[in-house]
Amino acid sequence: MLVIIVQCVQDFSTAYGLPVSLFLAGLVGGFTHCAGMCSPFVLAQTAQGETFQRLSSKLLLPYHLGRMTTYVTLAVIVNAVVNMAFLFSDLKILLTAPLLMLAGTVFLITAFPNVANLFPWAARLQFAPTFRIISGT
């Protein structure tokens, strides 16, 4: 078991270990995000009473441009704040690793509720109702 853990740490500490791990986490978490966050917006836009109709492309273009602009702006702001916080501090690795582990644990518990038996402290966390619906808890 220790050999497997050492191999994972070695792979994670290589030159592209963190970007690849974050990319894969984004792919895995993307489904949960889209189903929980984006689908209600799409349903609200396309639903009219009991029928569904597709929005015209004239209405979709401003919507998607606004959505992408908002996400990019928020990412730039968060990235700037985090980078400024770490610019004068050597605590980057001491903060990054626990935050990534916490995010991974929260993701596993929302995606797989039975994993909460392994982490009783995390089972007490309150998640948004959307994630409860998706995860079936």
d(CA 62, CA 46): 15
**Residues in contact with 28: Cβ distance below 8 Å, sequence separation at least 6, in sequence order:** 107
Examine the domain organization and report whether 11 and 50 are in the same domain: yes
Which of 99, 106, 66 shows the shortest CA–CA distance to 85? 99
What is the extent of the structural domain holding 127? 92-137
Is the whole model's pTM more than 0.85, yes or no?
Answer: no
What is the reported pLDDT for 127? Answer: 58
Identify the CA nearest to 43 among candidates 135, 137, 136, 130: 130
Residues 1 and 50 grouped into a single domain: yes
Identify whether residues 64 and 112 lie together within a single domain: no
Do residues 79 and 65 lie in contact, with contact meaning Cβ atoms separated by under 8 Å? Answer: no
- On whether both 1 and 47 belong to a single domain, the answer is yes
Asked whether the predicted pLDDT for residue 2 surpasses 60, the reply is no
- Considering the domain architecture, whether residues 49 and 1 belong to the same structural domain is answered as yes
User: Does 38 share its domain with 62?
Assistant: no
- Do 2 and 50 reside in the same domain of the chain? yes
In total, how many domains does the chain have?
3
Q: Is 64 found in the same domain as 32? A: no
Model confidence at 136, pLDDT cuts 50, 70, 90, reads low
Q: Per-residue pLDDT averaged across 16-42, rounded?
A: 71
**pLDDT higher at 110 or 9:** 110
Q: Are residues 5 and 49 in the same domain?
A: yes
Q: In terms of domains, do 29 and 42 share one?
A: yes
